Chains A and B, each alone.
Chain A
């Protein structure tokens, strides 16, 4: 998996690392059970403090996407094929989606375009995940 961040960008680095990993899981690049590099190694590879990587991994653990073991390290806990999300998760996500959709509305984006964009993105993840599963 290629993990690309903007160290001098406006989004905090730990958030960027977390976002890229979530996208890779959705796209089937990181199926359930695949391991991630140790925090120190990823810190060296990205040139960021390993506490930053730790923070990203911890966030993903809290969200139920990673399992962090003493021996196994960070392992992807679930993906698109692992069944429905944990209870209560959807409500939390809907709250964040609401903010994202509010941004589009406030910026004057056509509602039909918003829906089209959402459908295209979900379809893209679905296709990529199916290809990843097949491959």
Chain B
């Protein structure tokens, strides 16, 4: 078993759980990508759609997990990845089924007719911006330094390949850099404010952002630890084979589970809205969300916006900067893959 297969195998059940619980951590005025007024969030049709979605995704998750673990140790290296892709596709299909139902009931009830639809900004968000917890990056950086030191101490890289043996370090720097960059971008993006109670929702958003970022940075540090353990194996400090390889990946798995658990808890708190009666309601912005998941709004200068489903952020594909960043990301990733495979680090 290779580490890649083990990771894909482990992500199948985790993704399954995330899929099933996502409606519970999405704000109540967004039901399967459809904007609904607060008082309609508990409508029987929506509750029914949620129940049906949860049952369907639970079945998908169980079947996919059984398939992933059933094929453990035999079959092609691509099998777990194919199972994961099929699981994601089935999840999206369940989401679309539920979305169709909610859209139909919203259209038939004309829920936004005659309502004052507003967007609200709190200028204190820019005057007193949330601070990125820089110190939480220290563990990840320390692990990277430790990995470099370990490589230099344990063996002498061949002189003709100056970066020999440093593949794991490149992977650490890449993942740490990408996550840090994304999180910094999130800090510059707009908070998801609730029109009915903007001040309280901004406070909750700040708390969510802080918890989410710290959990993500802990995950990054644990990923780097796994890379260090993999490096030590490659450099011959120990030699684990077969199922024992899993041990090297335990930090990544622990990090992923921790990250999911913290995001779930933070998400539940973030949208714990008081049902304050309000004349204004959030803007009906369904038309900018393709398939209820992908945000395309050419008039919006934001690069990242709050995700429509679950807890997180998603790019605005209507913004040129998003495409530039995505292009840069793919170019660097392709460069690294070429470097790692052709130079043979």
Residues of A near any B CB (own CB < 8 A): 1-9, 35-38, 40-50
CB within 8 A of B301: which of A4, A6, A35, A40? A40
Instruction: Find chain B residues with CB under 8 A from A40 CB.
Output: 301
Instruction: Find chain A residues with CB under 8 A from B198 CB.
Output: 2, 4
Q: How far is the CB of A43 from chain B (nearest CB, A)?
A: 5
Q: Is the CB of A5 within 8 A of B118?
A: yes
Q: Is the CB of A2 within 8 A of B301?
A: no
In the complex, the chain B residue whose C-beta lies closest to that of A47 is B300
Give Cα distance in the complex from A6 to B280, angstroms: 9
In the complex, the chain B residue whose C-beta lies closest to that of A43 is B301
Q: Is the CB of B120 within 8 A of A4?
A: yes
Q: Provided the pairs A35-B127, A38-B126, A44-B189 are in contact, do residues A50 and B301 lie with their beta carbons within 8 angstroms? A: yes
Q: Is the CB of A2 within 8 A of B119?
A: no
B121 contacts the other chain (Cβ, under 8 Å)?
yes
Q: Is the CB of A7 within 8 A of B119?
A: yes
B228-246: which have CB < 8 Å to A? none
Q: A2-B120, A46-B121 are in contact. List 12 more A-B contacts (CB 8 A).
A: A1-B122, A4-B120, A8-B283, A40-B301, A44-B189, A44-B190, A44-B301, A45-B125, A45-B126, A47-B297, A48-B300, A49-B299
The total of chain B residues at the interface (CB under 8 A) is: 26
Q: How far is the CB of A52 from chain B (nearest CB, A)?
A: 9
Q: How far is the CB of A3 from chain B (nearest CB, A)?
A: 5
B195 contacts the other chain (Cβ, under 8 Å)?
yes
B116 contacts the other chain (Cβ, under 8 Å)?
yes
Q: Which of B188, B198, B299, B301 has the most CB of A within 10 A?
A: B301
Q: Is the CB of A48 within 8 A of B299?
A: yes
Q: Is the CB of A3 within 8 A of B283?
A: no
Instruction: Find chain B residues with CB under 8 A from A36 CB.
Output: 123
Q: How far is the CB of A73 from chain B (nearest CB, A)?
A: 10
Give Cα distance in the complex from A6 to B279, angstroms: 13
Q: How far is the CB of B153 from chain A (nearest CB, A)?
A: 47
Q: How far is the CB of B220 from chain A (nearest CB, A)?
A: 26
B173 contacts the other chain (Cβ, under 8 Å)?
no
